[in-house]
Amino acid sequence: MLTQPRTYQLDTSQKRFISYHLVIAVIALTVGSIFGPLQSFNWGGLDLYQFLEPIGLGDYYKGLTLHGVLNALVWTTFFITGFLTLTTIVGLGRPLKHPRLNWAGFITMAVGLVMAGIPILAGWASVLYTFYPPLEAHWGFYLGLTLVVVGSWIEGYGFYLTYYQWRKENPDTRTPFITFGGLITMVMWQLATIGVAVEILTMLLPFSLGLLDGTDPQLGRTFFWFTGHPLVYFWLLPAYISWYGLLPREAGGKLFSDSAARLAFWLFLLLSIPVGFHHQFVDPGIPNSWKLIHATLTYGVAFPSLLTLFTVVASLEYAGRKRGGTGLFGWIRALPWHKPSVSAQLLAGILFMFGGIGGITNASYNVNLVVHNTAWIPGHFHLTVATAATLSYMGISYWLVPYLTGKPLWKPKLAVAQTWFWFVGMLIFSNAMHVLGLLGAPRRTDLNSAPYVPEEWSGHLLRVSIGGAILLIGVILYVLIVYKTARGKDHLPEGEEIEVPIAESITDPQLTPMWLDRWRPWLVGSVALIILAYGPQLAQQISNAQFTSPGFTP
Amino acid sequence: MISTDSDPTNPGEDGRTHHLDVYERRWMIASVALLVVFAASVAVAGFGLGFQVPGHESRVDPNTVADSPPWNNPGLRDLGNGEYEVYVIGRQYLFEPNEIRVPVGATVTFYVTSVDVQHGFKLQDTNINMQIVPGHISKLTRTFEKAGEFPYICNEYCGLGHASMAGSLIVEAQGG
């Protein structure tokens, strides 16, 4: 058994660099989260948009675009790049090889955010975060989003170069788990975003600049969902890094299986991308055989999530029993629920089980006819991105913000309460959304002005509003706690330092076979599988492309 | 490939020397089995029993599709023997036609396309749910055994008036 060396401590400039990511992430979450509850109130019959009309935010779909872009894309991407900077530096125990490169990436992201934000606020890009053509936004929106993605790539190159140097010096050591997970997340993201990069650079940007008269909406959808599904794993994998690599330590235990954890991450790299057609099961332009192939591969990517369920629960059981928990379920009570970071991640994990079940439902080919484009879908992804990912990120920030600022967490008991607000609010909201979807309610629709809403929906629509209100309290508390912590006057007592809670593995990581720490076979396999699953159909769609659809500004 | 012979009565204790626990291996096998059953079920239901999703039908030019048959006269076609076709055009923010009447027992094939942006076509309380993409025709078939009114709604965001985009299929009792 290896003894854990003292973790590498970040210096002030490194802490500041990561903090800037979090500042932008939290601001995006704050602004974006205002609009979610507004939508939920609209569904319950309370239209508050009229009061926002004087400041130009009275449009349901502009608000929906802001909510989707800021919460699902900006909050996540900035938090994740900041967090992966930490997992790279702390895991490898060395500074970034080229900090200026990472700064360049971060600045590119920030510039892109401003560039995309202006047209959204001006109402020139109310195309939602999926921006399906031939809905047409201002070119600044597309270019801005591209810069956010490219900036995240540049930060990723900084991680790779740092890792490469470490690997040269440590050829036989297993990559520290949190770094390993972070690198796979970034590589998966860089492969995945090729789809949306091609869509924007070859279709939408020239289209919005007037260089192309028309576009091919079906081809656009195919490129989008090449990125759109692995995007979900880009949100989830950082939470998984924490659940496997940090949470067991916070809970007083160890990682149950280093091998299984690594295997899961490799399988996510392999299987996250060649599954995009499961978002297009009811599209007209794709043959059914290809849809079934992607359905099967989507079941494949459920496997590493099931593996994660076992390993994370086993790690937590180990912690609970070490803390004196007995019996079949006693260990659950024995976990340190009083720690806000632990409470957040446990609650996120519980709701994510329902997210996983719903995800398998969505993947189920013809079953998708029942749920496609219904309220079920946002009900589902509010359990994944808005809970498994977001609530875990909130939990991470409850130790990360004190770690970065050297200040104690403001009102830890309130932070625990905050995690429960999120859990309860999401339970009500998401359940109501799932039920509404099964009853046929469409997603992303200003239902308050729809003519076809039957009486049968009204109780569930009210529950959507109630859940939204509780979530609003949850997000306000979160922002307040982070703000008060960061701006607090108290510093941690002398000699008391917060450490990054890196979990040991029960088994020595050196027992993990080397094939679980080698890049080449997995990278080659991933690219090969993408080519097999996408190549023929994409070649067909490209060769048959007809750029005949003119643009429409919503 | 994966060695596992640790003591199954004592999983998860310190001092385990093998890198994968026996329960973990059993869980993996059960997970794979479950997913294989799921995949086989939907494949059989889709390709064997006819619970099918829309597939690739044919391409049209969204700028001119509404000018030529059959799309220049959207609506119902009676093919005889209880078989019907209905051609529906989606445009911001309405369906043409916005009302369709068929008798009980009718087997209706829906052909839907768009002349502007993407729309959705969801016939409430049925499995008719299609993405409507300009330049493509979406097609699904269903038999209506009971009388009643089925709204069809646009379930893909198509612009500011999206929420009002809906029509109605009325299945009429025989003789009525």
For the stretch A10-31, pLDDT in tens is: 999 999 999 999 999 999 999 9
Shortest alpha-carbon distance between residue B79 and chain A (Å): 24
Query: Does B128 share its domain with B82?
Result: yes
- Computed over every residue of chain A, the mean pLDDT equals 96
Query: Does B45 share its domain with B115?
Result: no
Query: Does B85 share its domain with B140?
Result: yes
Nearest-by-Cβ selection for A217 from B27, B118, B153: B118
Domain assignment present for A2 = no
Shortest alpha-carbon distance between residue A228 and chain B (Å): 17
Residues in B touching A544 (Cβ below 8 Å): 59
Query: Domain of A380: which CATH number?
Result: 1.20.210.10
For tokens 């510093």, the residue is: A491
Q: pLDDT (tens digit, 9 = 90+) per residue, A477-498? A: 999 999 999 999 988 888 788 9
Shortest alpha-carbon distance between residue B83 and chain A (Å): 22
Query: Does B89 share its domain with B164?
Result: yes
Please enumerate in sequence order all residues whose Cβ is within 8 A of that of B33, keeping only pairs 6 or more positions apart, or say none.
Answer: none
Query: Counting one residue from A and one from B, how many pairs have CB atoms under 8 Å apart?
Result: 226
Contact B54 A285 (CB under 8 A): no
* Residue A277 confidence (pLDDT) above 90: yes
**Which of B5, B10, B17, B19 to mutate to probe the A interface, most A CBs <10 Å?**
B19
Residues in A touching B47 (Cβ below 8 Å): 288, 292
Contact A507 B155 (CB under 8 A): no
Contact B134 A282 (CB under 8 A): no
Note down the domain range covering A480: 12-543
Query: Does B72 share its domain with B158?
Result: yes
Of A1-15, A284-298, A525-539, least confident by mean pLDDT is: A1-15
> In this predicted structure, what is the pLDDT of residue B8?
37
Q: How many domains does chain B have?
A: 2
Query: Does B80 share its domain with B144?
Result: yes
Cα end-to-end span (Å), chain A: 62
Query: Does B93 share its domain with B147?
Result: yes
> In this predicted structure, what is the pLDDT of residue B12?
44
pTM of the model: 0.95
Residues in B touching A318 (Cβ below 8 Å): 12
Q: pLDDT (tens digit, 9 = 90+) per residue, B63-90? A: 999 999 999 999 999 999 999 999 999 9
Q: CA nearest A237: which of A33, A34, A83? A: A83
Query: Does B45 share its domain with B90?
Result: no
Residues in A touching B166 (Cβ below 8 Å): 450-452
Please state, as a whole number, how many other Cβ atoms lie within 10 Å of the Cβ of residue A271.
Answer: 24
Tokens of B155: 């379930």
Residues in A touching B25 (Cβ below 8 Å): none
Nearest-by-Cβ selection for A507 from B19, B46, B154: B19
Domain assignment present for B154 = yes
pLDDT band for B175, please (50, 70, 90 cuts). low
Mean pLDDT score, A233-257: 97
Bridge partners of B172, per DSSP, are B103
For tokens 């599904």, the residue is: A229
Q: What angle do CA B52, B117, A441 make, to 5 degrees?
A: 55
Contact B46 A258 (CB under 8 A): no
* Percentage with pLDDT > 90 across chain B: 82
Q: pLDDT (tens digit, 9 = 90+) per residue, A449-480? A: 999 999 999 999 999 999 999 999 999 999 99
ipTM over 0.90? The verdict is yes
pLDDT band for A5, please (50, 70, 90 cuts). low
Mean pLDDT score, A497-523: 93
Q: How many domains does chain A have?
A: 1
Query: Does B111 share its domain with B145?
Result: yes
pLDDT band for B4, please (50, 70, 90 cuts). very low
Domain assignment present for A549 = no
Which residue of A lies nearest to B122 if distances are taken between CA atoms? A440
Domain assignment present for A418 = yes
* Residue A6 confidence (pLDDT) above 80: no
Domain assignment present for B138 = yes
User: Which residues of A are the active-site residues?
Assistant: 229, 233, 380-382, 443-444
> In this predicted structure, what is the pLDDT of residue B19?
67
Query: Does B75 share its domain with B131?
Result: yes
> In this predicted structure, what is the pLDDT of residue A507?
87
Q: pLDDT (tens digit, 9 = 90+) per residue, A73-88? A: 999 999 999 999 999 9
Query: Does B70 share its domain with B99?
Result: yes
Domain assignment present for A4 = no
Q: Characterise A442 by phi-psi region: left (phi > 0), alpha (psi -120 to 50), beta (else).
A: beta
Domain assignment present for A551 = no
Which residue of A lies nearest to B37 if distances are taken between CA atoms? A299
Pairing relation of β-strands B99-103 and B166-172?
parallel
Mean pLDDT score, A403-430: 97
Query: Does B118 share its domain with B36?
Result: no
Note down the domain range covering B25: 1-52
- H-helix segments, chain B: 22-43
